Amino acid sequence: MLRVDANLGFDPARAAEAARELEDLGYDGVWSAEASHDPFLPLVQAAASTERIQLGTGIAVAFARNPMNLAMVSNDLHSITKGRFLLGLGSQIKAHVTKRYSMPWSHPAPRMRELILAIRAIWASWASPDQSLRFRGEFYTHTLMTPFFDPGPNPYGNPPILLAAVGPRMTEVAGEVADGLLAHAFTTERYLREVTLPALERGAQKAGKSRQDLQVSYPGFIVTGRDGPEWDRVLRVDPRLPVGAGAARLGRPPPPAQLPVEEGRVGGHG
């Protein structure tokens, strides 16, 4: 089954309403983004206004945080959403992590692998009173968890972790330690077949998993419209977008060069 997802939009104050509209439209999941707003907060609102739809971060910047922050916020969101949360993580790039977030950057794929393993170690320590937290890695160390700070087992289990990846090394990490992959919107069908999916399977094999154990989420560009008003609006988008050629192919004139972008967007992983 191919699930169909949407983006929640960029206005956190409208998150509840937007999520309800998307659930009513029939979508299976919605993704929040981390750009000019926090990715987790809108999902609290969305959880309260919806019943069925899955709610995920697409993406939250992993290296702007530490494994304990991520383990806790996602454990809480999984409770708040009654088991509908998907933890989508991405590395961002060095300049943003170091200069915008003032956080360390090194060895992104091994660091991400360890960050996800640390989150899982923290969750495991909460899931069982007999499981102490003794995570010692190259990048992250978590060795203290006292009862006061331990939320206990989550009745909904742990949320799936989906990792955003483009290059083969990060994609292998997604296959090995995450529950799935968030592909980038610029990923072509050929790149999916020749690079992404083979790397994902290599990673899965390291952990004794197969492709069927993983979910792959793909934000695909669509250039479409019905005859009439929809196509007219498509033709009026930012001339930087590659819509002109497609419109011409479909027998419509190319877009005028200088008309402004109108409003909102339906989009992929931020």
Partner 1 sequence: MGELIDDEVLESFAVVAPLEEIPEIIRNRFGALVDRFSFYAPYPLEPGALREIVHAFKRANSAQPS
- In angstroms, what CA-CA distances link 91 with 23, 24, 88, 270? 29, 32, 11, 12
Site size with partner 1, rule: CB under 8 A: 65
Residue among 146, 148, 189, 260 that touches partner 1 (CB under 8 A): 189
Distance in angstroms (rounded) separating the CA atoms of residues 172 and 40: 26
Distance in angstroms (rounded) separating the CA atoms of residues 77 and 231: 39
Least Cβ distance, residue 264 to partner 1 (angstroms): 6
User: 27 or 63, CB closer to partner 1?
Assistant: 27
Least Cβ distance, residue 233 to partner 1 (angstroms): 5
- In angstroms, what CA-CA distances link 125 with 62, 115, 135, 160, 178? 21, 15, 10, 17, 18
Distance in angstroms (rounded) separating the CA atoms of residues 133 and 122: 6
Amino acid at 133: L
User: 153 or 246, CB closer to partner 1?
Assistant: 246
Least Cβ distance, residue 52 to partner 1 (angstroms): 13
Residue among 104, 151, 152, 264 that touches partner 1 (CB under 8 A): 264
Least Cβ distance, residue 133 to partner 1 (angstroms): 32
Residue 166 binds partner 1, judged by CB under 8 A: no
Residues 6+ apart with CB under 8 A from 147: none
User: 1 or 35, CB closer to partner 1?
Assistant: 1
Residue 255 binds partner 1, judged by CB under 8 A: yes
User: 146 or 224, CB closer to partner 1?
Assistant: 224
Binding to partner 1 in span 4-33, by CB under 8 A = 4-7, 21, 25-29, 31
Element (H, E) at 90: strand 85-90
DSSP string, 22-73: HHHHT-SEEEE--SSS-SSHHHHHHHHH-SS-EEEES-EEGGGS-HHHHHHH
Binding to partner 1 in span 191-250, by CB under 8 A = 192-193, 197, 215-227, 229-230, 233-234, 236-246, 249-250
Distance in angstroms (rounded) separating the CA atoms of residues 87 and 75: 10
User: 103 or 192, CB closer to partner 1?
Assistant: 192
Residue 168 binds partner 1, judged by CB under 8 A: no
User: 173 or 197, CB closer to partner 1?
Assistant: 197
User: 51 or 262, CB closer to partner 1?
Assistant: 262
Distance in angstroms (rounded) separating the CA atoms of residues 107 and 3: 33
* Residues that bind partner 1 in the complex, under the rule CB under 8 A: 1-7, 21, 25-29, 31, 180, 183, 185-186, 188-190, 192-193, 197, 215-227, 229-230, 233-234, 236-246, 249-250, 254-255, 261-269
